[in-house]
Amino acid sequence: MSTPAYQAIKDFILTRVESGEWKEGDLVPSENELARQFNVARMTVNRAIRELTADQVLNRVQGAGTFVAQPKYQSTLVEIKSIAEEIMARGHQHQAIVLKLDAVVLDEVLAHEMHMKPKLPAFHSVLLHLENGTPIQLEERWVNPELAPDYAAQDFTTSTPNEYLVRVAPLQKVEYRIEARSPDASTRAALKMESSEPCLLLHRRTFSQGLVASVANLWHPGSRYQFTGHF
């Protein structure tokens, strides 16, 4: 399947911004210049610019042009760390057990969240993370195969999904929410939780190159885990 013209323009701009070739405050080519370069209608370029502006990659100034925006995620998002890194930073041993690693057909809810069409395949993984032999996180993740085509071939007992995705699909933006939830029976059993114990659920969506890279549900036993961070 060929890449839509507007997406090719977005990729062109993102590559130059993420590589540092175009820096904060730099003026990007005009819509007319990009339309000539890519041999497309100006409205196609306009869509690419509008979407990158909405993603805070670009900043449009009336009468002056379009500029590379100031990076936002470093100061406005929680730091994204691998759970293996967190555990080893405490001087403890990390172990990962892969419970599932396959491809699934997206239902309408997940497809909408991943900005993909329903009934298209995505990679799906379920991992149990242990600290000194005690389970502290059940990670369920759906991954866009366009950004990580080799996801299902990875050995996630030696490198976490987060570490792999940061390497192949560098972070552009992250959305997340944290809530207390009662887990289902299989999650409770995997995490070896008491019957009345709640979970801390981190729901996280990551973006790269203007696309949704992954959607993850990270379940943690309420009595054994807390979220900390700094801005």
Instruction: Give the pLDDT confidence score for residue 77 in this predicted structure.
Output: 35
Q: 80 and 184 share a domain?
A: yes
Which among 71, 87, 111 is the end of a domain? 71
Instruction: Determine the Cα angle at 210 with ends 209 and 212, to 5°.
Output: 95
Q: 41 and 135 share a domain?
A: no
Per-residue pLDDT reduced to its tens digit, 22-32: 988 899 999 99
pTM of this prediction? Answer: 0.66
Residue 14: which CATH number? 1.10.10.10
Token pair in block for residue 191: 């995490």
- The residue among 224 and 219 whose pLDDT is bigger is 219
Residue 140: which CATH number? 3.40.1410.10
What burial letters (b/e) apply to 139-157, b meaning 16+ CB within 10 Å?
Answer: bbbbbbebbbeebeebebe
Side chain identity at 148, as an amino acid letter? A
Which among 24, 55, 71 is the end of a domain? 71
Per-residue pLDDT reduced to its tens digit, 55-108: 888 988 888 899 998 654 332 334 567 888 888 888 889 999 999 999 999 999
From CA 135, how far away is CA 162, in angstroms rounded? 18
In sequence order, what are the residues at sequence separation of 6 or more whose Cβ sits closer than 8 angstroms to the Cβ of residue 106? 114, 116, 118, 119, 120, 121, 122, 142
Q: 84 and 193 share a domain?
A: yes
Q: 30 and 141 share a domain?
A: no
Number of domains making up the chain: 2
Q: 23 and 96 share a domain?
A: no
Full residue range of the structural domain in which residue 117 is found? 74-221
